Amino acid sequence: MTAEVHVDFIHAGLDMLSSVLQDRQKCLPVFELFQQMHTAAPLHDNAAQARARAWFRDHGKSVTEWSMEKGFTPALVYSVLKGERKCLRGQSFKIAVALGIRPQPPERALGQ
């Protein structure tokens, strides 16, 4: 290989590296947002979560035992207790209501 070919390879490599760095700059805000989402503070009132944990301690019941009795998975109950779930719908919502972390919604017809 001649020196010119080596120089062309070096330039091609630098161009590729430059494009990767530009793409990284575009992705950085998305990565920072993702990182903030996963290191954010708990989503619910810490006092309500502490009361729920105290209930388990006061009644001598494990989270796993309670979750199995209620038909929930222990891992999801622990996630709710740690504040890792929004508890807006589905099983996590039902768990939060059962634990007293979220209030029971009023019964009303859909769309009213």
Q: What is the mean pLDDT of the chain?
A: 77
Is residue 71 included in any domain, yes or no? yes
C-alpha pair distances (Å), 62 with each of 28, 46, 57, 78, 99: 42, 20, 8, 11, 13
Question: If pLDDT is split at 50, 70 and 90, which confidence band does 11 have?
Answer: low
Is residue 73 included in any domain, yes or no? yes
DSSP symbol at 73:
-
Is residue 35 included in any domain, yes or no? yes
Is residue 106 included in any domain, yes or no? no
The CA distance from 19 to 50, in Å, is 50
Query: Which pTM does this prediction carry?
Result: 0.57
Domain interval for residue 10:
1-40
Is residue 91 included in any domain, yes or no? yes
Tokens of 31: 């990565």
**Counted domains in the chain:** 2
What pLDDT, on the 0 to 100 scale, is given for residue 91? 94
Is residue 70 included in any domain, yes or no? yes
66-102: b (≥16 Cβ within 10 Å) or e: bbeeeebeeebbeebbebbbebeeeebbbbbebbebb
